[in-house]
C-alpha cells in the first residue's frame, strides 16, 4: 500500500514565506485589506490525506497526495499561471489523530500541511482549509461536531501569522435539519471566535451537502458571528453538481434562481465546490459550460464572491489528467471561461 512518506527538496530561494493581504467581508462582499474586491477563482486539491477506506489508508489518495506534496512548488506555480487565485485543501481530524498514511503522528501531519500551505501562499495563492469530518459523519455530526476542534486549534495556531489562510470548518453537513444546522454552526463560531480567538474569514457550509439555502437561518448565523466579532466575517457556501441534468437551463436554471440566485448580492455567498461529475450520472460537460458561463457573466458581476472547482488531481472529474498532467476538457473549460484574461482576478 503506498504511503505519503517522502523527502522533498525545496527549490533555492523559496524558503521565505511570502504573505498575501488579509481578506475580510464588508457587507456582502469579500475584499482584501486594502478595500479591493477579491473574487475567488479556486480549485480543490487532494494534497493531504483526509479519509480512510474502511479504516485503512486509501492507496489512490496516498498516491495523489504524495504527488501533490513532492511537486507542490511546480504545481502551485502552474495553478497560478492558469488564472486561479485560491486553492482549497481537504483535511480531517480522523486522519490527523489516527497516525495513518505513514505520517508518524499529528506533528508530522501539521509539518506536511505547513509545507504545502506555505508553498501555495508564496506562489500567490490563498488557501482554504476544509474539514471533511462532517461529510463522513452524516447525521452524527450533531453529536460529534466538536471532535475536530482540537485539530482546528492546532491548525489555526500553525498559520496564525499567515493571512493568506482561511477556514471552512464543516464540509457538507448532511442528514440534519436547519434547526440542527444552526445549533452546530453557532457552536463552531463560538469555538473559533471565542475559544481560539480567530477573527479572519470563515466559510460556513449549509445543510444538505451545502446545496440548500435558507435566508432566515443564514441571517441568524451572520448575526451570531456579528455578535461575537462586532461585525460578521463569514461567507455562506454553496455546492452544486449537475445531478443528472445535461444543461444549466430550463427547470434546472429556475431551481437555482429560486434557491440561490435571487440572494446573490444580498448575502455573502460563495461557491466552495462545483463539479461536473456525481453519483447520479456521468460527467456533464455541457452543464459545466453553461454553469461556468452563468457564473462569469451574471453571478460574479451581481456580487457572488467566486467559485472553487472540483478537482485538480482526482478522476473522474479531474481538471488535469492524472497520467499526463495535461488539462482535461473540464479543466480547459474552467480556464477559458472562469479564469480568462478578461476576468477580474485581483490578487493584490
Domain boundary assignment for the chain: 35-337
Describe the chain by its helix, strand, coil percentages, rounded to 5.
40, 20, 40
Distance, CA of 284 to CA of 241 (rounded, Å): 9
Distance, CA of 48 to CA of 290 (rounded, Å): 31
Distance, CA of 265 to CA of 278 (rounded, Å): 28
Which CATH entry fits the domain spanning 35-337: 3.30.479.10, 3.20.20.80, 3.40.309.10, 3.40.50.300?
Answer: 3.20.20.80
The residues near 81 (Cβ < 8 Å, ≥ 6 apart) are none
Q: What is the pLDDT along the chain (348 residues), one digit of tens a residue?
A: 334 434 344 444 444 677 899 999 999 999 999 999 999 999 999 999 999 988 899 999 999 999 999 999 999 999 999 999 999 999 999 999 987 798 889 999 999 999 999 999 999 999 999 999 999 899 999 999 999 999 999 999 999 999 999 999 999 999 999 999 999 999 999 999 999 999 999 999 999 999 999 999 999 999 999 999 999 999 999 999 999 999 999 999 999 999 999 999 999 999 999 999 887 888 999 999 999 999 999 999 999 999 999 999 987 789 999 889 999 999 999 999 999 754 444 433
Q: Are 136 and 94 in contact (CB under 8 A)?
A: yes
The residues near 254 (Cβ < 8 Å, ≥ 6 apart) are none
| CA dihedral of 51, 54, 59, 63, whole degrees rounded to 10 | 0
Q: Which of 203, 133, 230 is nearest to 173 (CA)?
A: 133
Please report the pLDDT score of residue 7 as a whole number. 39
Residue 194's Cβ-count burial label (10 Å; 0-12, 13-18, 19+) is exposed
Distance, CA of 175 to CA of 214 (rounded, Å): 16
Task: Report how far apart, in Å, the C-alpha atoms of 245 and of each of 140, 201, 266, 293, 317 are.
Answer: 30, 33, 27, 16, 16
State how far Cα 323 lies from the chain centre.
24
Please report the pLDDT score of residue 11 as a whole number. 43
Helix (H, G, I), strand (E, B) or coil at 235: strand
Helix (H) or strand (E) holding 270: strand 269-274
Q: Are 264 and 299 in contact (CB under 8 A)?
A: yes
Q: Are 80 and 335 in contact (CB under 8 A)?
A: no
Amino acid at each position: 500500500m503506498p504511503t505519503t512518506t517522502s523527502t522533498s527538496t525545496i527549490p533555492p530561494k523559496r524558503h521565505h514565506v511570502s504573505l498575501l493581504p488579509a481578506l475580510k467581508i464588508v457587507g456582502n462582499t469579500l475584499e482584501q485589506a486594502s478595500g479591493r474586491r477579491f473574487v475567488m477563482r479556486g480549485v480543490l486539491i487532494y494534497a493531504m490525506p483526509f479519509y480512510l477506506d474502511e479504516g485503512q489508508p486509501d492507496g489512490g489518495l496516498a498516491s495523489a497526495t504524495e504527488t501533490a506534496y513532492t511537486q507542490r512548488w511546480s504545481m502551485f506555480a502552474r495553478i497560478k499561471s492558469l488564472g486561479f487565485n485560491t486553492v482549497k485543501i481537504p483535511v480531517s481530524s480522523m486522519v490527523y489523530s489516527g497516525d495513518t498514511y505513514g505520517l508518524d503522528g499529528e506533528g508530522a501531519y501539521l509539518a506536511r500541511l505547513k509545507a504545502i500551505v506555505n508553498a501555495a501562499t508564496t506562489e500567490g495563492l490563498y488557501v482554504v482549509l476544509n474539514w471533511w469530518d462532517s461529510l463522513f459523519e452524516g447525521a452524527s455530526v450533531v453529536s460529534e461536531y466538536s471532535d475536530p476542534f482540537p485539530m482546528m486549534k492546532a491548525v489555526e495556531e500553525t498559520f496564525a501569522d499567515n493571512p493568506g489562510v482561511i477556514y471552512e470548518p464543516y464540509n457538507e453537513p448532511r442528514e440534519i435539519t436547519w434547526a440542527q444546522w444552526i445549533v452546530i454552526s453557532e457552536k463552531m463560531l463560538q469555538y473559533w471566535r471565542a475559544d481560539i480567538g480567530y477573527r479572519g474569514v470563515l466559510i460556513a457550509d449549509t445543510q444538505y451537502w451545502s446545496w440548500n439555502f435558507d435566508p432566515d437561518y443564514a441571517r441568524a448565523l451572520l448575526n451570531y458571528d456579528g455578535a461575537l466579532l462586532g461585525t460578521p466575517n463569514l461567507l455562506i457556501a454553496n455546492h452544486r453538481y449537475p445531478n443528472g441534468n445535461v444543461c444549466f437551463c430550463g427547470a434546472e436554471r429556475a431551481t437555482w434562481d429560486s434557491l440561490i440566485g435571487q440572494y446573490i448580492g444580498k448575502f455573502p455567498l460563495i461557491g466552495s465546490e462545483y463539479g461536473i461529475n456525481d453519483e447520479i450520472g456521468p460527467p456533464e460537460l455541457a452543464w459545466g459550460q453553461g454553469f461556468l458561463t452563468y457564473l462569469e457573466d451574471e453571478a460574479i458581476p451581481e456580487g457572488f464572491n467566486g467559485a472553487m472547482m472540483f478537482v485538480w488531481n482526482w478522476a473522474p472529474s479531474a481538471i488535469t489528467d492524472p497520467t499526463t498532467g495535461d488539462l482535461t476538457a473540464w479543466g480547459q473549460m474552467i480556464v477559458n471561461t472562469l479564469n480568462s484574461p478578461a476576468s477580474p482576478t485581483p490578487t493584490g
